[in-house]
Amino acid sequence: MKVQLLDLKAQFKGIRSEVLSAIEGVCEDQGFILGQRVADLEADVANYLGCKYAIGVASGSDALLLSLMALDLQPGDEVITVPFTFFSTAGVVSRLQATPVFVDIQADTFNIDPEQIEQKITSRTKAIIPVHLFGQCADMTKILDVANRHGVKVIEDACQAIGAGQNGQKAGTFGYTGCFSFFPSKNLGGVGDGGLIATNDETLRELLLALRVHGSRSDYHHDHIGINSRLDALEASVLLVKLQHLQGWNEKRAKNAAYYETLFADAGLLERVTLPHTVPGNVHVFNQYTIRAQKRDQLMGYLKEQDIGHKVYYPVPLHLQECYQPLGYQKGDLPVSEQMAADVLSLPIYPELPESHMEMVVGAIKDFYGKH
């Protein structure tokens, strides 16, 4: 591929010896489950985020699932979230036999429209899961206000937003819990699956520590019905290395986004594409650089011909997914989400992306619109 959407090998090159010696250390110790490295990572991430506690778990999806389990979500309970997100945001609600209730998003941020939350709250609403999509925080002031007025908990899906901020506070530290993913393509990616829950509540921390090991606080004594969802020592050892680079990598992503802005403006393309909008007060960490493009599908065909990496996150909003037909949503029910699914296109933005590649991306898009 001429221009890759994501090149993890470029990142590995810069930290190769640190990562390999971290992995070697775990192999020498032969301690693979939880242990000191996981505890160290939890402390370092909590410190980085500016919250009291962090609990390592097996994935971002499990971080969401365990947060809902800690709430003692019951079948028939409702959880408000968005349809324009990765599947697991709503999938975890359904796994607990509760019902996801979808609220539409704002076109400029792709995040939940806080003004539409209140009308969806019922006596069965237990939580709101805002998603900080693509690396930018949803409007936490308004979301917390409506949640607090109704006694509903907020679980932040910050899987794409580690290091993102709003009014000086980091994503994942506003709510009841903040959920993070270490899936390799995230801004802080491991060498496999991994996740983490952030919280400021000590009782909740104790409960989550138990829930991730089958609900037991001491060996073979089970106070709760939990699951097996631990972070591996191997993951933690690599993440400890990578965490030290996260701030720099996030800044590189933002720098790349700024360069795209210059390139798109200079190419005279601002009538054809809508670039990402960062709300004042937000620090955007650009897990994805997602534009809206006229004739999106034709443009994708052209980029494919030109061997330029790109992807649509997400092509089908969750309320229109096959598995959610039983919820009874129709096309047109959540019009902004549906429009975004038709318009969005994510372009390469990873920290090591060469400027020449961004120039090729924008050059190809300019060629396309010159002909269409």
Look-up of token digits 């009782």:
203
Residue 132 C-beta: closest distance to ligand PLP, Å = 8
Q: Which is nearer to ligand PLP, 88 or 256 (CB)?
A: 88
The 8-class DSSP code of residue 3 comes to B
By CB atoms closer than 10 A (0-12, 13-18, 19+), residue 236 is buried
Q: Which of 11, 61, 125, 177 binds ligand PLP (CB under 6 A)?
A: 61
Q: How far is it, in rounded angstroms, from Cα 161 to Cα 165? A: 8
Decide if 360 contacts 5 (C-beta within 8 A): no
Assess 232 for contact with ligand PLP (CB under 6 A). Answer: no
Assess 288 for contact with ligand PLP (CB under 6 A). Answer: no
Decide if 34 contacts 231 (C-beta within 8 A): yes
Q: Which of 42, 104, 113, 157 binds ligand PLP (CB under 6 A)?
A: 157
The 8-class DSSP code of residue 241 comes to H
Q: Which is nearer to ligand PLP, 111 or 256 (CB)?
A: 111
Return all residues near 42 (Cβ < 8 A) that are at least 6 apart: 53, 54, 55, 56, 196
Alpha carbon dihedral 235, 206, 139, 59, in 10-degree steps, equals: 30
Q: Which of 166, 181, 282, 346 binds ligand PLP (CB under 6 A)?
A: 181
- Candidates 328, 54, 1, 359; CA nearest to 178 is 54
Rg (CA), the chain: 21
x-marked contacts with ligand PLP along 86-125 as a string, rule CB under 6 A: x-xx------------------------------------
Q: Which is nearer to ligand PLP, 195 or 351 (CB)?
A: 195
Q: How far is it, in rounded angstroms, from Cα 28 to Cα 22? A: 10
Residue 195 C-beta: closest distance to ligand PLP, Å = 5
Q: Which is nearer to ligand PLP, 239 or 263 (CB)?
A: 239
Residue 318 C-beta: closest distance to ligand PLP, Å = 11
Assess 183 for contact with ligand PLP (CB under 6 A). Answer: yes
Assess 195 for contact with ligand PLP (CB under 6 A). Answer: yes
- The letter for the amino acid at 344 is V
Token pair of 297 as six digits:
């599908």
Residue 33 C-beta: closest distance to ligand PLP, Å = 18
Q: How far is it, in rounded angstroms, from Cα 25 to Cα 163? A: 27
Residue 185 C-beta: closest distance to ligand PLP, Å = 8
Among all residues, whose Cβ is closest to ligand PLP?
A: 60
Q: Which of 11, 42, 59, 232 binds ligand PLP (CB under 6 A)?
A: 59
Q: Which is nearer to ligand PLP, 155 or 308 (CB)?
A: 155
Q: Which is nearer to ligand PLP, 184 or 363 (CB)?
A: 184
Look-up of token digits 């359904």:
94
Residues that bind ligand PLP (CB under 6 A): 59-61, 85-86, 88-89, 131, 157, 159-160, 181, 183, 193, 195
